[in-house]
Structure formats: C-alpha cells, structure tokens
Amino acid sequence: MGLLLPLALCALVVCCGAAPPTQQAPSPSPLLSHSCNSSYVLEVANFVLQDINRNRKDGYVLSLNRVSDVREHRQGDLGSLFYYTLDVLETDCHVLSRRSWKSCSVRYLHLSVYGQCKAIFYINEARRIFYLAAYNCTLRPVSQLAIVRMCPDCPGPAGLSEPRVWEAVTESLAEYNSRSTSKYSLVKITKASSQWVTGPAYFVEYLITESPCAISQASSCALQSSDSVPVGLCKGSLNRNEDDDTEKLVWVTCEFFKSQVPTPGGQNATANQGPTNLPKEEEPRQKNTARADSPAKAVPEGAIRCLPSLDDEDSGQSQGKGPVEAFPVQLDLTTNPQGEPLDVSFLLLKPVEEELVVLPFPSKEQRSAECPGPAQNANPLILPP
C-alpha cells in the first residue's frame, strides 16, 4: 500500500506535464480583397460588363452602377481569377446594337430596371488573356408603388399584349414606313408604358426586320416570325385626344444595328478587344492590348433572370409564402470549399493541360470593408440590398 501512493503521484505528474492536443488553425482564405473604388477594379469591371453584354442575344445593355464586391484568387504563373459582384442598371440600348454601355443612357427612374450580376473573370496578363468564365444576373423593375407616391403622373409599365400597345406599334411603324424607302415589319415588342396626357398615351419599343411585303400588303404582313433577324430598334408613341378619339399624335424614331462582321475564329471583331491601360495596384502589372483568340468553347456560361417587381412578390408574403430574397443570384461552379479544377488549356494555346482552381463564390458576409463602392445613381429604389 505504501508503494501505491508514490506511483499514483508519479502518474499524475506525467499526465499534467503532457502537452494538450494541438488544434489545427483554420487555413487563411486564398481570396484577396480589393477596394471596390480602386481604378484597377473599376477598369476590370468595365470589361467584365462589356463581355456580359456581348454574350447576350436579347434584352437591353446593362450599365455599371457600382462594384458591390470583388475578390482575387492569384494562381502563380497562370494569373488570377476574379470574383465580381456588380450592381447594374438597364439602358435604352438593345444588346443587338453592340454599343458600349458607356455610350448608352440609363432609363428614367420611373421606368428603371435594376439588378445584380455575379461574374468569374480570368486574367493572365503575361499571355494577354481576359476571359469571362461564367456569369449570372438577376433584374427587377423599380417599385411602382414607390414611384406612384413620388410621381403620380409619371408613365408606368403597360402590358405588351394590351390592344392599345399593339395599336401604338402598328401606327408608329406605319408612320416610319410611310417616309422610308425600305419597308419594315415587326419582330417583337420589347417595352411598353402608358401615361395620361391630353388623353391616353402609349410609348413602345420594338424590334423590326426588313419586310418582304409590298406596300399594298402592309396590313397583312405587319408581323414577322420570331426567328427573323432584327435589323433595328424603333421607339414610338401614340397619343389620343380625350375629347376626340379620332385626333391622334404619332411619333417614331428607329435606330439600325451595325452589321457584325465575323472574324475567322467565328467571333465578332469586338470580342477580341481587351483592356488597353489597366492601372497598377499593389504590384507591377503589364499593360495589355488584346486577349487571346477564343475558340467556340470559350463562350462563357451565363444567364439573365428577369423577375417581377418586389411589389408583386411582397404581396405573396401575406399569403404565407415567407420573405422574398430580393436578388437571388447564384454562381457556384463548385460547392467544394477546397475548390475544383477549371480547365483553361484552350485559352493558353499550348499542347499541355493547364488548370486553375475555382472556389465557391464568396458570400455577402465575406465582403471587404472597402466595398461596396460609390454608386453612379445612389437612389435606394434602384440599389440592390
């Protein structure tokens, strides 16, 4: 018994002196933060948005309102992957015009369409590669309840299938054809709004194509099939007098799209233009004049999702549908926190395989303290939360 006590004490000393089990510290995120207002970030954002607009075949050109967030994942000699979140506004230029968003005007507040885009953009400056790997955007019209409170007499959206809308299209297109040597037919109505002036006034926008019909057939050949190639966008209006419905005022103007001459690689000539003067930030960067020629498989994955006004969805909450996420933009090429390989061999024009590591898109909670940046239009009605 006398020996047991010293042995027990020795065991206790050994246990107390043992080092506690080590806890592995979490590995730091490889994503680097930037200021959303830096000249470099804004210059790259410009080209991200240009590529998003260039990839689209329908809808209106989106303009940059502000950079909401940006992260960079540097990957050695292969360059960097950037994760951009952009707040955008719709302009009055159709995407088929191929105009730069900087040369387009955003819509008046009462007819605004606003939203958010997430994009993954690859830059390898040494090899002059600037490539939009993927994007997704969600858009909504501005709250009409808020607009009516601010401006009860402002024009409001009208249904594209309303008889008065079709009348405005038909009358304005007939007016344009009456003074044009070439004749055009309707392909698609893209926008419509209405307002009470001296009577009901309807404002319309629509795509047109060259008409195969003679002038005498105009009434029976007003609408072409939806797969017809649009050649221009018309904006027109029809205003009737309240006291005399036969008295009407018709206005119309049409903008024709520039022909897109394909390059030998099958892309538009403008698709090979890259940043020409990216400013320096944090470490030396090279100036670049072009991107690598991109084969057909380099077309980015992406979509534009158009949702109704939050006014319409908010009404569903009272019916037990729960809260509505204002801009549910998802862009996860992977959900693996360690990342997944992204093959970019086709961009590097080398016989060997080259892979980047793409990570899950960073959440809003991870946003840099220097983001979001200042907005071009800071009205809260057109800023995503």
CATH, residue 164: 3.10.450.10
Q: Kindly state the average pLDDT of the residues 180-188.
A: 93
Which tops the pLDDT comparison, 201 or 18?
A: 201
Q: Contact, 121 vs 132, CB < 8 A?
A: yes
pLDDT for position 297: 47
Q: Is the pLDDT of residue 26 over 70?
A: no
* Domains contained in the chain, number: 2
CB-based burial label for 87 (10 Å; 0-12, 13-18, 19+): buried
pLDDT for position 98: 95
Report the C-alpha gap between 343 and 364 in whole angstroms: 27
Instruction: Report how far apart, in Å, the C-alpha atoms of 86 and of each of 48, 112, 115 are.
Output: 9, 17, 8
pLDDT for position 226: 63
52 with 99, same domain: the answer is yes
Q: Contact, 328 vs 277, CB < 8 A?
A: no
77-124 confidence digits (pLDDT tens)? 999 999 999 999 999 999 999 999 999 999 999 999 999 999 999 999
**Long-range contacts (CB closer than 8 Å, 24 or more residues apart) made by 164-167:** 164/194, 164/200, 164/202, 164/238, 165/189, 165/192, 165/194, 165/202, 165/204, 167/202, 167/238
Query: Which candidate, 360, 287, 240, places its Cα nearest to that of 130?
Result: 287
What is the residue range of 115's domain?
Answer: 31-143+309-314+325-358
139 with 91, same domain: the answer is yes
Q: Looking at the domain assignment, is residue 244 inside a domain?
A: yes
Q: Is the pLDDT of residue 223 over 50?
A: yes
161 with 115, same domain: the answer is no
Q: Contact, 83 vs 65, CB < 8 A?
A: no
122 with 195, same domain: the answer is no
116 with 174, same domain: the answer is no
170 with 97, same domain: the answer is no
